[in-house]
Amino acid sequence: MNNILFIHASPHGKYALGYRLAQKILTEGTFSRVSLVERDLLAAPLSPLTHRYASALASHNIGDRIDAALTESEQLISELEQSDRLLIATPMHNFSVPAALKLWIDHVVRVNRTFIASAEGKQGLLHDRPTTVLVSAGGMLQGDNPQPDFLTPYLTLILNTIGIQNIHFVYLQGLAFGEPAIANAWNQAQAALTRAGVLTNEIP
């Protein structure tokens, strides 16, 4: 069963290389698809966090009642609950996740809803699922002279916090260095996805 949730967070939308690679996975990938929910965080921006939302999160008395301030958060969490495979295509912005993806995180990482805080630390409440993260970057993230990368450890930790442990990162890097570098990044990313068993053909 593959109910896929596809999150993308590039201001370039469907022209982003990460988006195009995600489409290749969705159309030619090794997993059969039952359903697809697509969230374009730039084309359909999420609401900024409000005072009511922050207050609702701080309240210990919500119980089973869903406050109206949590409606959008509930919708996003429900999309996670109903999916069993997660695909995220995101650019690196200023060494970390772009603001649109951070806002999605702030809507779905909720105490007593997607994680609980205990003496042993935070424990995720969502089921684990295979998760592929496609990261696009103008500079290099791996190799001889990589830039600092706060995106990978941060996104890993935050997904772990809500219960998602099975995460595989694939990098489209060096995209600011012109056409040969872009072609190389595309081929390297496809090779990584092939090694991971997500794609079957290394070179189209």
Ligand X SMILES: Cc1cc2nc3c(=O)[nH]c(=O)nc-3n(C[C@H](O)[C@H](O)[C@H](O)COP(=O)(O)O)c2cc1C
Contact set with ligand X (CB under 6 A): 10-12, 16-18, 91-95, 136-139, 147, 175
What letter represents residue 153's amino acid?
P
Q: Minimal distance in Å, beta carbon 41 to ligand X?
A: 12
CA atoms within a 13 Å half-sphere pointing along the CA-CB vector of 123? 5
Closest CB to ligand X among 92 and 158?
A: 92
Across-strand partners of 117? 122
Residue 118: Cβ-neighbour burial (10 angstroms; 0-12, 13-18, 19+)? exposed
Closest CB to ligand X among 7 and 57?
A: 7
Closest CB to ligand X among 139 and 163?
A: 139
Q: Minimal distance in Å, beta carbon 21 to ligand X?
A: 9
Backbone phi, psi, residue 6, to 5°: -115, 115
Cα 4 to Cα 13, 87, 108, 179, distances in angstroms: 19, 7, 17, 31
Q: Minimal distance in Å, beta carbon 169 to ligand X?
A: 14
Q: Minimal distance in Å, beta carbon 132 to ligand X?
A: 15
Cβ atoms of 92 and 141 closer than 8 Å: yes
Closest CB to ligand X among 13 and 197?
A: 13
Closest CB to ligand X among 9 and 199?
A: 9
Closest CB to ligand X among 41 and 69?
A: 41
Q: Minimal distance in Å, beta carbon 115 to ligand X?
A: 28
Q: Minimal distance in Å, beta carbon 185 to ligand X?
A: 9
Cβ atoms of 10 and 136 closer than 8 Å: yes
HEC-encoded secondary structure of 30-68: CCCCCEEEEEECCCCCCCCCCHHHHHHHHCCCCCCCCCH
